[in-house]
């Protein structure tokens, strides 16, 4: 079983300054993934849509940079780690003009043993909140390393 | 489409999408990902990769697009998406996005969808699950 200090679980280790979301930034994001859905791309059409205006596509929630010291706070096991995947919970839409703050904590640490040996997974939860203090998304980032 | 129309086993997609190296570089630059593996073939090869690859978040965004394309103008929203990166996704080739409905939950009007990105040899590069909630 992997060894760690339980006190680090769910303790916020870093909070960023607010990051502004511009209409241009959303448009650029849409361009890079060939997104054409009017809800995300067309101001006029989106006015009559379910959100009353353009919103960011869901994948936009994963584009925010974590804080400068983010990686220093990720517990290390073994020499090489890599990005094993993400789980995103979408709580509210991100809109142009929003200012998004990220708060990060260690959500979970666990290991799995398979044919190729033991792998340790560290799950970092980053919560995205807007300028009103409303949570817009939780992004769980799984880092995997081999012991 | 309403929740009552959602059937276990129904297909989502497939959608074919061609992601160029320029799009990948643009994504990497716009999202502060300067690592050579996302911008330059030679730099990627020095890291032991076959060439440039898409950032994991870009693959996640493509799978999210598959689901929101399926939702389209219907009274529904994606509330969760999880991805697992199995094999690096390379640009300048056609990717196939697809999935199928695996579960429905009438009490919450939610459905679960298995989704994945595969290459033209039908190798699953990125897999995931999404949860969609209907309001009607």
pLDDT at A67 > cutoff 80: no
Say whether B62 and A28 touch across the interface (CB within 8 A).
no
pLDDT at A54: 97
Look-up of token digits 């509330």:
B79
- Residue A68 CB partners (closer than 8 Å, separation 6+): none
Rounded Cα distance, B48 and A16, in Å:
33
Say whether A85 and B83 touch across the interface (CB within 8 A).
yes
pLDDT at B79: 98
**Contact indicator for A143, A82 with CB cutoff of 8 Å:** yes
Q: Please state, as a whole number, how many other Cβ atoms lie within 10 Å of the Cβ of residue B66.
A: 23
Query: Greater confidence, A143 or A96?
Result: A96
Per CB-CB distance under 8 Å, the chain A contacts of B76 are none
What is the pLDDT averaged over residues A86-95? Answer: 97
Say whether B26 and A37 touch across the interface (CB within 8 A).
no
pLDDT at A80: 66
Q: Please, what is the Cα angle at B88 between B48 and A41, to 5 degrees?
A: 130
- Residue A132 CB partners (closer than 8 Å, separation 6+): none
- Its pTM stands at 0.93
The complex's ipTM works out to 0.93
pLDDT at A2 > cutoff 70: yes
* C-alpha distance from B7 to closest chain A C-alpha (Å): 23
pLDDT tier at B4 (50, 70, 90 boundaries)? very high
User: Percentage of chain B with pLDDT > 70?
Assistant: 100
pLDDT at A68 > cutoff 80: no
- Going from the N-terminus, what domains does chain A have, and what CATH number goes with each? 8-146 (3.10.129.10)
Q: Which of B26, B30, B68 sits opposite A37 (nearest CB)?
A: B68
- What residues pair up with A19 in beta bridges, in sequence order? A100
Say whether B60 and A86 touch across the interface (CB within 8 A).
yes
What is the pLDDT averaged over residues B30-34? Answer: 89
Tell me the pLDDT tens digit for each residue of B88-117.
Answer: 999 999 999 999 999 999 999 999 999 999
pLDDT at B120: 93
Q: What is the distance between the terminal CA atoms of chain A, rounded to a whole angstrom?
A: 12
Chain A residue nearest residue B19, CA to CA: A33
* C-alpha distance from B126 to closest chain A C-alpha (Å): 9
H-type alpha helices, chain A: 23-32, 38-41, 43-47
Per CB-CB distance under 8 Å, the chain B contacts of A71 are none
With an 8 Å Cβ cutoff, the interface of chain A facing chain B consists of 25, 28-29, 31-35, 37, 39-40, 49-50, 57-60, 62-63, 65, 83-90
Say whether A50 and B75 touch across the interface (CB within 8 A).
yes
Q: Which of A33, A63, A89 sits opposite B79 (nearest CB)?
A: A89
- Going from the N-terminus, what domains does chain B have, and what CATH number goes with each? 3-19+53-134 (3.10.129.10)
pLDDT tier at A79 (50, 70, 90 boundaries)? low
Q: Which of A37, A49, A58 sits opposite B81 (nearest CB)?
A: A58
pLDDT at A118: 87
What is the pLDDT averaged over residues B16-20? Answer: 96
pLDDT at B48 > cutoff 70: yes
Residue B108 forms contact with A (CB below 8 Å): no
């Amino acid at each position: 079983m992997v060894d760690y200090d339980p006190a680090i679980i769910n303790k916020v280790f870093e909070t960023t300054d607010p990051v502004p979301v511009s209409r241009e930034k959303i448009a650029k994001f849409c361009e890079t993934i060939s997104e054409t859905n009017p809800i995300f791309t067309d101001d006029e059409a989106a006015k009559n849509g379910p959100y009353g205006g353009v919103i960011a596509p869901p994948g936009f929630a994963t584009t925010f940079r974590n804080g400068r010291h983010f990686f220093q706070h990720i517990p290390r096991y073994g020499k090489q780690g890599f990005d094993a995947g993400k789980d995103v919970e979408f709580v509210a839409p991100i809109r142009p003009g929003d200012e998004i703050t990220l708060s990060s904590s260690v959500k979970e640490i666990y290991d799995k043993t398979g044919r190729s040996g033991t792998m340790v997974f560290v799950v970092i939860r980053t919560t995205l909140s807007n300028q009103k203090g409303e949570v817009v998304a939780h992004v769980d980032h799984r880092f995997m390393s081999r012991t | 489409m309403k929740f009552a129309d959602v059937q276990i086993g129904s297909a989502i997609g497939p959608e074919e999408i061609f992601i160029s190296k320029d799009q990948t570089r643009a994504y990497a630059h716009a999202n502060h990902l300067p690592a050579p593996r996302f911008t330059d073939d030679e730099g990627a090869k020095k890291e032991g990769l076959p060439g440039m690859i898409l950032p994991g978040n870009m693959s996640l965004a493509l799978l999210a697009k598959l689901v929101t394309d399926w939702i389209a103008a219907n009274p529904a929203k994606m509330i969760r998406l999880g991805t697992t990166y199995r094999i690096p996704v390379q640009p300048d080739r056609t990717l196939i996005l697809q999935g199928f409905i695996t579960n429905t939950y009438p009490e919450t009007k939610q459905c679960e969808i298995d989704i994945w990105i595969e290459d033209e040899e039908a190798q699953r590069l990125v897999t995931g699950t999404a949860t969609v909630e209907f309001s009607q």
